[in-house]
Structure 1
Amino acid sequence: MSDDGGLTGQRARLDAEMERCGQWPADSPWLREAFAALPRDRFAPQRLWRWDGWAYVPVDRAVDPDGWARELYGGVHSAAVTQLTDGLPSSSLSAPGAVADMLDSLRLEPGHRVWDVGTGQGWTAALSAWRAGPGLVVSSEVDEGLAGFARGRLADAGLDAQVLTGDATRGGLPGGGQVDRLHATYAVESVPWSWVEAVRPGGRIVYPWGRLGYVALTVAEDGASARGWVHGLAQFMGDRRAPAQASSGPAAHAAVRAGADPQVRRVLDRDPAGLEDWDLRFALRVAVPDAVLVTEHEPDEPHGPDGPHGPVVLVHDGDRSWAEVRPGTGGRPVLLQGGPRRIGDEVMVAWAQWEGLGRPGLYDYGVTVTPDSQWAWHGSPDGPRWPIAQPAPAGR
């Protein structure tokens, strides 16, 4: 065991991996300096949680410092779970690559006033304060325990950043006024209009969008709207007080199907392996946002010429509607569906639409937010669009 639990080596390894993967943003060289000055271990609790394939198990720094360091520095794209609620993750230190990319998208400059939404352990607030300057970052955290922890870590780092307890999704900027930048660390399906109101015209809002991806918006000069492009692909924990997102995985699909027989069965002319394309997955997320989709590869078994291998695709809406795509005879997959809506057909229509648009990537999509409506679009704000459900009014 090393004197510091391997932290020096883990920090160096992460820095090198970020370099090798091209994750240090060329336009924001300050981020590499900030990561070195404020390493994530300075903002991590003494206990982390590791998924062992069945459940989350504790990794305590006092008991296993090397294991704790490895869990904390799992990789460029690895978050570290810092809190469980009812056995499920409720807070984490986000993946380093996503943190760097989102803060690069924020276009943060010295002197900017920043609203950090979702303090967690305080790491992103610290990085923002390192860049913006003393007294310019206010951070909101709904969990008082986390807020207190973050205050202590920020103070230990010698940073002047304010952490307040409150629900940023349903309230305005603490203290009023406007900021230059808003950075959210938890996922929302739709942007609260109070966030747009809190950012000055020309300012930026960077936030995780629902179950997949993050977006950078610019507030219009008249303050009456905000719009911008998708900037990356990542998964974040959701707003704690929003309706729970439907769970993924075979068990969640089985719970929705509840043993029911298919109501519809039809042969497809599409290869279900195409649904493993992440650009298509993102397009489906835009067009059918409540569809939860997972692909599985069954163990190899002997098959004749009419029984090809292929992934099994499970789809559900978290309520009562489900679909499955399974390899069929003659080399043609079969779509099975049940429930009050034909969610499998919705996925197939969105798939065809994506192909009709030229198979765009996630960076070809954007979002527009106005006081009374929000929508995603392809290619340009005037291109094909898909509505985004509005958030509940503040105070509901």
Structure 2
Amino acid sequence: MSALSAPPILDFSAFYGSDIEAKAKLVEEVRKCCHYNGFFQITGHRVPLDLQRRVMKCSKRFFDLPLDDKMEIDKNLNSFNRGYELLRSQMLEVGTGPELKEGLYIGEEIPEDHPYFLQKKLNSGPNQWPQTVPDKDEFQKTTMDYYHAVFELAKDVLGVVALTLGVDSDFFQPLTTGAVATMRYLHYPAQPKDEDETLNRGIGAHTDFGCVTLLLQDEVDGLQVLDAPSGQWLDVKPVEGAYVVNLGDLFMRMANDKYKSNIHRVINKSGRERYSIPFFFSGNPDYLCECLPNCRAPGEAAKYPPITVQDMVTAAYKESYGRAEKYKREMETTKLEATPSVAAVGA
């Protein structure tokens, strides 16, 4: 793999077919990507293009709503990350401003009598649905149909990754059974082309928290992946129907750092609005993440102690959102200190 090549586009259909050589080639290509930077794109999957197009329209319909309507389902009204996320709520990169994006958090419908809700498991609870979005019933159905389709695709991706480790494709079944995943509708407002990209990132440079992420992009670019050997940022051009796939911190930890959770960011310099739909697959919250097979040499120790999915991802959420709140408090303090007092003005 060239050090300066953007994540390759792989034909995932070989995973479902009977061609042994094609499947072996796919597994080897994924293995190389996992070792290099943990990023690749896939086509030939089983999520219908029509469903992708419909769900992207759902996203745009939601963000077209007045702010007051969106704030009725503010995710801060609950403790399990479901609902609307206001612009500049999160801050993933130290030294930048809170991020220039708004979102809608969605997950599996978890009723309030479900054990996950009662035990306060990761991101587990009922969805908050917008009441004024056009075609409300179709909005909810399309959203959940898409969620379930990508959930299954995430399991298939982990099946291929298992094969790269020299184990059976169902190795991760204990991780994927009862798994928690979070989908986000994201909207990046248009920015002037000369906007200060240091302070105004769509998403700051970061790595993802969980096991694997599948990203659906619209036609507007902005996603960049860091090429670690050269230090250069590589644009990931949108490809209709494709998913950008990347490993998260939790998987890299299990892989003893042999597989990479790589730094990426979004800078929307297009002058247009950008929409994307990331799907973050964390796993069963009680799954104990330990060093995976064939990820350490004989006699080599595991770099990390065991940790549950719940504890790993929850800590990462608290850090990124806490960073944004701290930044806002500091900015408010700076403004107050810079504002002349009434007595000083009168003097």
RCO comparison, higher one (Cα < 8 Å, 6+)? 2
More helix by share: 2
**TM-score normalised by the chain length of structure 1:** 0.22
The structure having more radius of gyration, on CA atoms, is: 1
More strand by share: 1
**TM-score normalised by the chain length of structure 2:** 0.24
